Amino acid sequence: MALIEFDGVVKRYPGAAAPAVARLDLTVEAGEFLTLLGPSGSGKTTTLMMLAGFEPVSAGTIRLDGQPIERLPPHRRGMGVVFQSYSLFPHMTVAQNVGFPLKVRRVPAADAARRVREALARVRLEAFAERRPQQLSGGQQQRVALARALVFEPRLVLLDEPLAALDKRLREELQLEIRRLHRELGVTMVFVTHDQGEAMTLSDRIAVFDQGRIEQIGAPQALYDAPATPFVAGFVGDNNRLLARLEGCDADADGTAWARLSLQGATGADAPLRLRARCSAALAQACADGRPPAQALLCVRPERLRLWPGAGGASAAPPGQAMLPAQVQDCIHQGDHWRVIARAEPALAGADTPPWTVKLAPSALPPGLAAGQTVGLGFGPGDAWAYAPDPQ
């Protein structure tokens, strides 16, 4: 059942041309891990701060267990909060910092001491109880902040980019710690981040924000495999894109909508290169309503591309595969994979189309591949999505 409900919530700042959050409708289920993901200024942190009570709501209602809370002060909402800056008291020991919420709630000393020990054990800091925050590493301080948010056993914990200040190794380590704690305790968590990898690791669901609105919400795999908009396709993972002429839409036996696309002026020939791609829901609806755009935006994930070397690569595509002729610009070794940067043939993709990226396992990199070589970039219909073009 829904623990938290946002019903038509709006946040406006004085003097701003547009609302920071524009009519937000969102539910958070009891026990789930929901991540608010988006770039800076997209409204995700503002949404969290309204939920915590640190920002007033301009319009709409926020409900906790069905009861409106937008007029309640933060200390009466019973939510644990973890900030990026840790917000620990430097003059207190670790145990005193963790026990502070219990002291405010006047929990008996013996019970408070037990709960502090248990909270520190959960974050594996039992041995650090008498240290001061300045004697701890950044990762250890964030564990203390997490223990403090959990010690009074809240039903809801809010985390505002808590790992952003940590290095990559510590960040990944604490991601797993937070994931473990969520599963062990069953507490509802709402997490804010701009890091899509972090969101994919932690979340049951992700709400992708842009310009004060949710572009798409769903399970991590659903967002990655079936992004609803070009923004989601580009923000949740990498994506290659180019504009193509939309020739029509059709549907197969199971109802999947497909777009028929063409790229004009194939190299050395006047015949267009014809492609097929899955239709986004918005593009399929536009076609069904009889108002298809003249062009569609084609998006393909880097790992879904195949690469054939040599000038004949573009003619080596298996049946059903589209093949885009391109020129290699760079080959970058990134440990577990190679990143090949290639610019598609300008006559097909347009001179201003950004270079495409191909991700290849080390064993799949063609021997001797180097900048300046001609290759074919291949992909099948199921590898590509077609969207209505971004509004200008």
Note the pLDDT tens digit of each residue in 226-252: 999 999 999 999 999 999 999 999 988
pLDDT at 337 > cutoff 90: yes
Strand partners, 80: 157
For residue 89, give the amino acid letter: F
pLDDT at 350 > cutoff 90: no
- 206 and 178 Cβ atoms separated by less than 8 Å: no
Residue-range domain boundaries for the chain? 2-234, 238-387
pLDDT at 270 > cutoff 70: no
- Domain 238-387: CATH class, spelled out: mainly beta
Please tell me the predicted confidence (pLDDT) of residue 143. 93
Average confidence (pLDDT) over 317-338? 88
pLDDT at 355 > cutoff 60: yes
Q: Domain 2-234 belongs to what architecture?
A: 3-Layer(aba) Sandwich (3.40)
Nearest CA among 144, 156, 183, 179 for reference residue 69: 156
Element (H, E) at 103: helix 94-104
- Put the strands of the sheet holding 2-11 in their side by side order: 21-29, 2-11, 59-64, 67-68
Please tell me the predicted confidence (pLDDT) of residue 225. 94
- 35 and 204 Cβ atoms separated by less than 8 Å: no
Average confidence (pLDDT) over 187-201? 96
Q: What is the pTM of this model?
A: 0.91
Please tell me the predicted confidence (pLDDT) of residue 48. 97
Please tell me the predicted confidence (pLDDT) of residue 254. 86
